[in-house]
Chain A
């Protein structure tokens, strides 16, 4: 394979990863006593009406050694109480490189299960990144659709015994998916299939305040310190394309208001192929189901799709 082809493959993979980074639905989720906040790298396990606008990130040196800015929106619309459609997109700036919009991304999500006493819930989804919808420097990066079946789960620890009660505000969430391009090769360039995996560890001070001990400080009692880990591992065509596992560790904090939240996290590269230097990502997220408007309720509020426990 020529150097140009390898660079093209890497550019396509970078675009796919960038698109993947931008596409989670980010809805907050309620199961039993637990409210899972929206997190930035790992989608949370709930299906709600939601608008993440904007999500902005910056990394000093991406996998190609370029400065990179990304901005995006993600709108989740419920069709029934447990079924939703997500639409996501946004631009990317790289230097050197240029500017372009990522491929349009849509996702169908279904709330499969909630066990309130266990504070456990998960959803399944299917994501499509649509070919031909990128622009600028990203116009040619998606010659075919990319398909991503996914699972997102979350578990709170409110069920721990009294002796461990100060661990009850902890929760973990995780995400597993694969991203498969519609063709293995395009014009002699390998298209890489990746396994995307990661998890979050979070400690909810709102949970602490309402379940364990009162927190008098109004700002502090709305914070959720969080650590996210998100990776992409090539599972097909990675060798020919010359790509390896990439991923970030993202420590940060989420501030939860009643109808919105704001999150700020550092982006620490976890492998040499990911890039170098610490970046930053922030997001403003609106809980549309908590905001009275014409679009805050499911289109079919009594339809199918309600998971057990919801």
Chain B
């Protein structure tokens, strides 16, 4: 009985220990910062809790003049949890809204919205 319990506990421990790359991708940090104010921004950098698939992850940016064109998203070569989306034109002063829809490497979907401000 004690051996069986030990086996079950060991299996569970291994299962949980081998999990570093799989989960719902939650936004942990962003640049420009969530709710923050910046002088300018040339890219949107989203740091997730888990790796994401850039081909299936969508990011949009809207501001005072409507939708802002963005280049194709990519992840950092050394960290698949960091998504980088270049902004292809200079941002005018005003409030901007980022909407993201992420697909993690294990195909879980998450989404969110936040705002930042470009100061005059």
Seen from chain A, the residues whose Cβ lies within 8 Å of a Cβ on chain B are 30, 32-33, 35, 116, 206, 209-214, 221, 258-260, 286-287, 289-293
Contact = CB atoms under 8 A, between A and B. Distances in A.
A291 B112 contact: no
17 contacts: A30-B108, A33-B111, A209-B27, A210-B26, A211-B112, A212-B35, A213-B35, A214-B30, A258-B24, A258-B26, A258-B49, A259-B16, A259-B22, A260-B16, A287-B24, A292-B18, A292-B106
A40 to B, nearest CB: 21
Contacts of A291: 15-16, 19, 22-23
Q: How large is the interface on B (under 10, 10 to 19, 20 to 34, 35 or more residues)?
A: 20 to 34
Contacts of A211: 34, 112-114
A33 B112 contact: yes
B16 A286 contact: yes
Given A286-B16, A291-B19, A292-B106, A213 B34 contact: yes
A53 B29 CA distance: 30
Contacts of B24: 30, 35, 258, 287, 290
B34 A210 contact: yes
A291 B11 CA distance: 13
A242 B34 CA distance: 56
Contacts of A293: 15
Contacts, number: 72
A291 B14 CA distance: 11
A33 to B, nearest CB: 5
A159 to B, nearest CB: 11
B27 A210 contact: yes
B36 interface: yes
B88 interface: no
Given A212-B34, A214-B30, A258 B23 contact: yes
Most A CB atoms within 10 A — which of B28, B50, B109, B113? B28
Given A209-B28, A209-B34, A214-B29, A290 B108 contact: yes
Interface string B2-31: 000000000000011011001110111110
Contacts of B62: none
A116 B113 CA distance: 13
Contacts of A258: 23-24, 26, 49-50
B33 interface: yes
B110 interface: yes
Contacts of B50: 258
Contacts of A287: 23-24
Contact of A214 (B18, B26, B33, B111): B33
Nearest to B99: A33
Contacts of B28: 209-210, 221
B110 to A, nearest CB: 7
A210 B29 CA distance: 7
A30 B26 CA distance: 11
B23 A210 contact: no
Contact of B113 (A33, A35, A259, A286): A33
Contacts of B30: 210, 214
Given A210-B114, A214-B29, A258-B26, A292 B36 contact: no
A206 B109 CA distance: 16
Most buried by A among B18, B22, B109: B22
A291 B15 CA distance: 7
